[in-house]
């Protein structure tokens, strides 16, 4: 392994491009580069399409702007910035349209990388959301630098395609470079950017924290696009260029190391980052299983049968802040029965209890020669506990889902499972695919996603770590036609409540927004047998979705730690759908097969 440098002086640029005027924009960039070089900057990131402006439109001569102004990687603009890179010993990354050979009507949305040795590289945006002038790129790009490999990802590639950043992190990248022109949720008329801030921070913070990788993001600021007769432009960008570090600090799991999402003033923010803080721990864990994810994407690429049309569009979901009686199945069954009846009386169609609600979650190391609590109390599915709850589900005419330790009747293996009981009295199960921490001392990994059909369509099940750290699973469910995902969880806040609330809320809202899912999440509350009084489970059970600009809570609150069941009003699923543009499961399968080969090597 190469001995990479850890300390990097990096700059990210808020830039207000003059639409359609490359000469003016290049001149502005020259000044920004000179100022950054004076501050010792070694890598400077400009926004997406900053050389031309972002918005679509026609030049005064009638030509469509982006194809008309596009250049090749050996064009005059590239030569100009390559000279500056060599002069200042600086990587300069900037966005502009790139010519397509033999096709004057189209261009690539490209990031050009001017290298300190005077060379030039380039990356094509893989998932263009731009109008029909833009062609998509074909694959990932890793830039080799003295500070280690860095992954290229332009705007929507970053915010909507977790498969790409997962590939980069697994390949050892410590930084994702994100030239962007992002204004989703920014009100052009009023300048209100609260919706944009929610979207921008949820997506970038989740990437940095989940994958343990730095994200450098450079965004446009100010008006953009061809002005009308009154001088009004079709777009207004909020800036927010920043470098996000995965290092824990203060009340969050990430740090805004350079720049800020709040800053809209034009210019470069320059500062030093310590890339040794990029740990990417997950990709070294045994539970990281790229061969599984590759199989899921290959299945999606092959085409799945469309799910049966939903019979109903409104569903009422109930989630329980469940105060477990640790190690006492009978008390927990009685509590679940009581709360299920309460929820049914309030009109709930499905009642969700937390992970391992049957027994409690906490693992206590057994004395030598003895079994741990989870092994002692584990049952088969079906078994006595599920038979009892299945009879209740049939009596109430409701779905009931709860977590329990399962013993496989044939192999004797143990699993952290969710039991799913139907109004017809049927019993089904999902086995947690990614058990973490002490769970690995008593249970094995499951290996299959699980969806079940209901009158409201398909519903997927994902337990705790499967939800927060495995975007591949929620993506599989959404792309398969699920509109609801259940998350029985035992998520522990530890001492720092602020960190837990941020982590829990940002993860769930990001998934709901990105994949177009309604999420029901049920968590344990109270001590659950933990012998340390400063540690307890925080509840926070919720039913949530997302709009364009915010998370929407249909039941519960992440700050609510009171025991009891929370029932939503009617949740309208008619507009809940998976709509990722340029979704390419065949490409993602290829990326995961590459990860598989490298992990096994």
Residues carrying an active site annotation = 355, 432, 464
CA distance 539 to 122: 48
The dihedral through the CA atoms of 302, 305, 306, 307 has a sign that is negative
41, 55, 238, 514 from 25: Cα distances, Å: 20, 15, 18, 33
255-259 and 551-556 beta bridge pairing: unpaired
By the 10 Å C-beta count (0-12 exposed, 13-18 middle, 19+ buried), 38 is classed as: exposed
The dihedral through the CA atoms of 354, 358, 360, 363 has a sign that is negative
User: 């501050």: which residue's tokens?
Assistant: 39
The three-class DSSP label of residue 48 is: coil
Residues 6+ apart with CB under 8 A from 12: 44, 45, 216, 217, 218, 241, 242, 243, 258, 259, 268, 269
Other C-beta atoms lying within 10 Å of the C-beta of residue 229: 5
Rg of the chain on CA atoms, in Å: 26
CA distance 235 to 23: 21
Residues 6+ apart with CB under 8 A from 573: 310, 313, 314, 315, 456, 457, 483, 484, 518
Residues 6+ apart with CB under 8 A from 114: 78, 81, 82, 84, 85, 91, 92, 93, 94, 120
Query: For residue 136, how far is the Cα from the chain centroid?
Result: 22
Hey, what are 6's tokens? 């850890």
The secondary structure of 89-127, three-state, reads: CCEEEEEEEEEECCEEEEEEEEEEEECCCCCEEEEECCC
39, 135, 336, 445, 519 from 419: Cα distances, Å: 59, 46, 13, 16, 18
User: 């050996």: which residue's tokens?
Assistant: 74
State yes or no: cis peptide before 240, omega within 30 of 0.
no
Q: What DSSP line would sit under 414-483, residue for residue? A: EEEEEEEE-TTS-EEEEE-S---GGGGGT-BPP---EEEEETTEEEEE--THHHHH-HHHHHHHHHTT-S
Asked whether the beta carbons of 467 and 333 are under 8 A apart, the reply is no
């Amino acid at each position: 392994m190469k001995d990479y440098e850890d300390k990097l002086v990096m700059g990210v640029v808020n830039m207000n491009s003059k639409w359609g005027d490359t000469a003016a924009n290049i001149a502005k960039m020259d000044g920004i580069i000179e100022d950054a070089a004076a501050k010792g900057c070694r890598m400077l990131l400009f926004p997406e399409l900053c050389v031309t402006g972002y918005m679509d439109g026609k030049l005064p001569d009638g030509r469509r702007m982006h194809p008309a102004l596009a250049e090749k990687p050996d064009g005059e603009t590239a030569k100009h910035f390559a000279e500056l890179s060599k002069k200042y010993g600086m990587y300069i990354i900037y966005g502009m349209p790139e010519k397509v050979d033999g096709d004057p009507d189209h261009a690539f949305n490209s990031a050009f990388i001017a290298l300190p040795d005077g060379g030039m590289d380039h990356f094509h945006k893989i998932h263009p959301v731009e109008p029909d002038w833009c062609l998509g790129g074909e694959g990932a790009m890793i830039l080799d630098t003295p500070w280690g490999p860095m992954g290229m990802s332009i705007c929507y590639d970053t915010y909507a395609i977790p498969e790409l950043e997962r590939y980069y992190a697994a390949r050892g990248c410590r930084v994702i470079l994100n030239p962007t022109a992002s204004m989703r949720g920014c009100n052009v008329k009023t300048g209100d950017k609260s919706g944009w801030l929610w979207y921008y921070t949820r997506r970038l913070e989740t990437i940095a924290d989940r994958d343990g990788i730095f994200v450098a993001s450079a965004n446009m600021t100010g008006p953009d696009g061809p002005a009308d007769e009154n001088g009004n432009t079709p777009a207004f960008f909020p800036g927010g260029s920043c470098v996000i570090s995965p290092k824990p600090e203060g009340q969050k799991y990430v740090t805004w190391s350079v720049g800020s999402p709040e800053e809209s003033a034009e210019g470069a923010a320059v500062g030093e980052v310590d890339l040794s803080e990029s740990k990417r721990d997950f990709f070294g864990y045994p539970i990281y299983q790229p061969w599984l994810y590759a199989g899921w994407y290959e299945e999606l690429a092959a085409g799945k049968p469309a799910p049966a049309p939903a019979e109903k569009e409104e569903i009422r979901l109930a989630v329980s802040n469940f105060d477990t009686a640790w190690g006492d199945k009978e008390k927990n069954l009685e509590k679940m029965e009581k709360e299920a009846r309460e929820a049914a009386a309030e009109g709930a169609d499905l009642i969700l209890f937390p992970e391992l609600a049957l027994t409690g979650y906490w693992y206590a190391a057994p004395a030598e020669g003895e079994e741990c609590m989870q092994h002692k109390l584990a049952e088969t599915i079906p078994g006595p506990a599920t038979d009892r709850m299945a009879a209740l589900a049939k009596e109430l005419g409701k779905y009931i889902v709860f977590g329990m330790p399962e013993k496989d009747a044939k192999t004797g293996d143990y699993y952290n499972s969710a039991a799913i009981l139907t109004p017809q009295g049927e019993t089904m199960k999902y086995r947690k695919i990614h058990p973490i921490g002490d769970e690995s001392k008593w249970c094995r990994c499951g290996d299959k996603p699980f969806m079940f059909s209901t009158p409201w369509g398909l519903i997927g099940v994902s337990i705790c770590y499967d939800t927060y750290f495995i975007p591949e699973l929620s993506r599989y469910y959404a792309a398969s036609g699920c509109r609801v995902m259940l998350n029985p969880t035992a998520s522990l806040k530890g001492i720092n409540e602020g960190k837990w609330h941020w982590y829990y809320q940002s993860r769930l809202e990001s998934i709901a927004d990105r994949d177009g899912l309604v999420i029901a999440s049920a968590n344990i509350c109270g001590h659950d047998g933990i012998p340390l009084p400063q540690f307890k489970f925080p509840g926070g059970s919720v039913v949530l979705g997302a709009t364009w600009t915010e998370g929407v809570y249909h039941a519960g609150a992440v700050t609510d730690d009171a025991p009891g069941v929370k029932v939503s009003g009617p949740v309208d699923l008619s507009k809940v759908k998976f709509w990722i543009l340029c979704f390419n499961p065949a490409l993602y399968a290829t990326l995961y097969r590459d990860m598989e080969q490298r992990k096994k090597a």
